A and B are shown apart, each in its own frame.
Chain A
Amino acid sequence: MAAPDIVMYEEEFNQIKGIIAKLRVDANSKVVFLVDKNGQQIAAHGDIENLDTTSLASLTAGNVAATDGLARLIGEKEFSILFHEGEKDNIHISIVASRVILVVIFDERSSLGLVRLRVKKASEELNRVFSNIMAKVEKERASTGTTFESPFAEITDEDIDSLFS
């Protein structure tokens, strides 16, 4: 429990940012973002200035978790794609590498077909990046006996108290 399951390194983070930036352009969408299944935002790209991305991340994860629950109830492993259609904007949600959620927000300038097509391609690339991350974590675990080097190893009570001052 103590060790985090996802550790994001600079190199992979930049690759991920590149992939979602490209997806945003290719799919002609407004916003693309990536969230982990627990509701933590990993990366976002597009018109996010007026968007509450933290809430969006948390609600998306809640939505996916509830839908996963529904899937299991009827004997499915998961519903890998969710689509919400609005008057102007639509949300396309898909699960990548079984652990992260890719969200694309688009309007009438794009179409569901185009988004699905581009998401599929981007998913494959993201899959590769997440496999690399997991391999890296595994390697580190094997070489040091720990999952990662905690920057908090020497955290003190004063550090924590100062957060609440």
Chain B
Amino acid sequence: MTFINYASREINCKIVYYGPGLCGKTTNLQWIYEKTNPNAKGKLISLATETDRTLFFDFLPLELGTVRGFKTRFHLYTVPGQVFYDASRKLILKGVDGVIFVADSQVERMDANVEAIENLMVNLKSQGYDLLNIPYVLQLNKRDLPNVATVDEMKKALQRKNPGEPVYEACAARGTGVFETLKGVAKLVLADLTKTQ
């Protein structure tokens, strides 16, 4: 749910990073946090366990500038990837404007990716959204590792839209593809606003 404040001329959008455990959702946010101009970002909040696994969510507010005289803010959230945190995952999707699915490219994580996408579709539905109709992009993370599935294999297994949703190859730990992915979904979210006419 985009929040448009005509009085203060601001628009706030909520973007959620979704994906299986240890796929690099938090790493994406950390990279964005490190590389963003201090004036444009707020604090990165991580509600994590003592072993740095996301417990509830990570949150990073970004202020990118103005579009048509409106101050544009993106609120980036990650969900906890571990299967048993499903109740928390569902809550974070409330009011989402755009979703980035971060897939782990390692061959042995393909089942986990598929399971997480199915879970995303179910949880979106429970909040009244349909994955096929919302701004959504797919990030293939960890492309630098040796044991990765090919891009074509991953697209075949993970793409849900027809024509396929935008796909970005990334290595979040080194920052490759991180901003491209964010820009990709931001574009879709803002473009989505034009359709409300």
The residues of A with any CB-CB pair to B shorter than 8 Å are 1-10, 13-14, 36-40, 42, 52, 54-55, 58-59, 62, 65-66, 68-69, 146-155, 157, 159-160, 162-164
Closest Cβ of chain A to B3, distance in Å, is: 4
One of B4-12, B23-31, B156-164 contacting the partner: B4-12
Contact B7 A9 (CB under 8 A): yes
Contact partner, A160, options B3, B12, B43, B190, Cβ 8 Å: B190
Q: Chain A residues with Cβ under 8 A from B194's Cβ?
A: 150, 152-155
| A164, B186: Cα distance in complex, Å | 10
B179 CB contacts on chain A under 8 angstroms? 164
Q: 25 interchain pairs (CB within 8 A)?
A: A1-B134, A13-B5, A14-B7, A37-B94, A38-B95, A39-B75, A40-B12, A40-B14, A55-B45, A55-B59, A62-B91, A65-B94, A66-B56, A66-B91, A69-B91, A149-B197, A150-B196, A151-B69, A151-B70, A152-B11, A152-B67, A152-B70, A152-B193, A155-B67, A155-B190
Number of B interface residues at 8 Å Cβ cutoff, please give it. 48
Minimum C-beta distance from B25 to chain A (A): 16
| CB–CB B197/A150 < 8 A | yes
What's the nearest-Cβ distance from chain A to residue B46, in Å? 11
Q: Complex: how many Å from CA A139 to CA B159?
A: 40
Interchain CB contact (< 8 A) of B1 among A5, A10, A65, A163: A5
Q: Which residues of chain A have C-beta atoms less than 8 A from B42's C-beta? A: 52, 54-55
Cβ of A54: which chain B residues have Cβ within 8 Å of it?
Answer: 42-43, 61
Question: Chain B, 63-91, contact with A by CB distance < 8 Å: what is the 0/1 string?
Answer: 01101111010010000000000011001
Known: A2-B196, A38-B95, A147-B196. A163 touches B12 (CB 8 A): no
Q: A6-B3, A9-B7, A150-B194 are contacts. A162–B95 as well, Cβ < 8 Å?
A: no
In the assembled complex, B151 has its CB within 8 A of some CB on chain A: no
Task: Find out whether the CB atom of A159 lies under 8 angstroms from the CB atom of B68.
Answer: yes
Within 8 Å by CB of A1, from B56, B61, B68, B129, lies B129
Is the beta-carbon distance between A36 and B4 smaller than 8 angstroms? no
Least CB distance from A57 to B in Å reads 9
Which parts of B146-197 form the interface with A (CB within 8 Å)?
179, 183, 186-187, 190-197
Query: Is B2 among interface residues, defined by CB-CB distance under 8 A?
Result: yes
- Closest residue of chain A to B192 (Cβ to Cβ) is A2
Q: Are the CB atoms of A6 and B1 closer together than 8 Å?
A: yes
**Closest Cβ–Cβ distance, residue B121 to chain A (whole Å):** 15
With a cutoff of 8 Å between Cβ atoms, the chain B residues found around residue A147 in the complex are: 196
* Set B14, B59, B92, B183: member contacting A164, Cβ < 8 A: B183
Q: Pick the contact of B43: A37, A55, A69, A151 (CB < 8 A).
A: A55
B57 at the A interface (CB under 8 A): yes
Complex-state Cα separation, A155 to B69, whole angstroms: 11
**Cβ-defined partner of B94 (8 Å) among A38, A55, A58, A160:** A38
Chain B residues with CB under 8 A of A13: 5-8
